Amino acid sequence: MSWPGAMPSWPACSVLPMQVRLQTQNTYRGIVDCMVKTYRHESLLGFFKGMSFPIASIAVVNSVLFGVYSNSLLVLTATSHQERRAQPPSYTHVFIAGCIGGFLQAYCLAPFDLIKVRLQNQTEPRAQPGSPPPRYRGPVHCAASIFQEEGPRGLFRGAWALTLRDTPTLGIYFVTYEWLCRQSTPDGQNPSSATVLVAGGFAGITSWVTATPLDVIKSRMQMAGLKQREYRGMLDCMVSSARQEGLGVFFRGLTINSARAFPVNAVTFLSYEYLLHAWG
Ligand X SMILES: C[N+](C)(C)CCCC[C@H](N)C(=O)O
Size of the site for ligand X (CB under 6 A): 14
* Cα 93 to Cα 72: distance, rounded to the nearest angstrom: 9
First to last CA, the chain: 11
* Cα 115 to Cα 44: distance, rounded to the nearest angstrom: 21
Quote the least distance from Cβ 188 to ligand X, whole Å: 28
Residue (35 or 59) nearer to ligand X, CB? 59
Q: Which of 23, 24, 163, 265 touches ligand X by CB under 6 A? A: 265
| Residue-level length of the chain | 280
Quote the least distance from Cβ 65 to ligand X, whole Å: 7
> Is residue 169 at the binding interface for ligand X, with CB under 6 A as the rule?
yes
Quote the least distance from Cβ 62 to ligand X, whole Å: 6
Residue (14 or 195) nearer to ligand X, CB? 14
Footprint of ligand X on residues 13-32 (CB under 6 A)? 14
In this structure, how many other beta carbons lie within 10 angstroms of the beta carbon of residue 60? 15
> Is residue 170 at the binding interface for ligand X, with CB under 6 A as the rule?
yes
The answer to whether residues 184 and 244 touch, using CB atoms and an 8 Å cutoff, is no
Nearest to 71 by CA among 102, 94, 97, 99: 97
Stretch that binds ligand X, among 138-146, 163-171, 179-187, 191-199 (CB under 6 A): 163-171
* Cα 122 to Cα 115: distance, rounded to the nearest angstrom: 11
Footprint of ligand X on residues 36-75 (CB under 6 A)? 62
The answer to whether residues 167 and 99 touch, using CB atoms and an 8 Å cutoff, is yes
Footprint of ligand X on residues 186-225 (CB under 6 A)? 204, 207-208, 211
Residue (143 or 267) nearer to ligand X, CB? 267
String of b and e for 189-213 (b: at least 16 CB within 10 Å)? eebeeebbbbbbbbbbbbbbbbbbb
Q: Check residue 127 and report its DSSP letter.
A: P
> Is residue 110 at the binding interface for ligand X, with CB under 6 A as the rule?
no
Stretch that binds ligand X, among 18-26, 43-51, 161-169, 188-196 (CB under 6 A): 161-169
> Is residue 173 at the binding interface for ligand X, with CB under 6 A as the rule?
yes
228 SS3 class: strand
> Is residue 264 at the binding interface for ligand X, with CB under 6 A as the rule?
yes
> Is residue 261 at the binding interface for ligand X, with CB under 6 A as the rule?
yes
> Is residue 104 at the binding interface for ligand X, with CB under 6 A as the rule?
no
Quote the least distance from Cβ 143 to ligand X, whole Å: 21
String of b and e for 93-105 (b: at least 16 CB within 10 Å)? bbbbbbbbbbbbb
* Cα 227 to Cα 247: distance, rounded to the nearest angstrom: 23
> Is residue 178 at the binding interface for ligand X, with CB under 6 A as the rule?
no
Binding site for ligand X (CB under 6 A): 14, 62, 165-166, 169-170, 173, 204, 207-208, 211, 261, 264-265
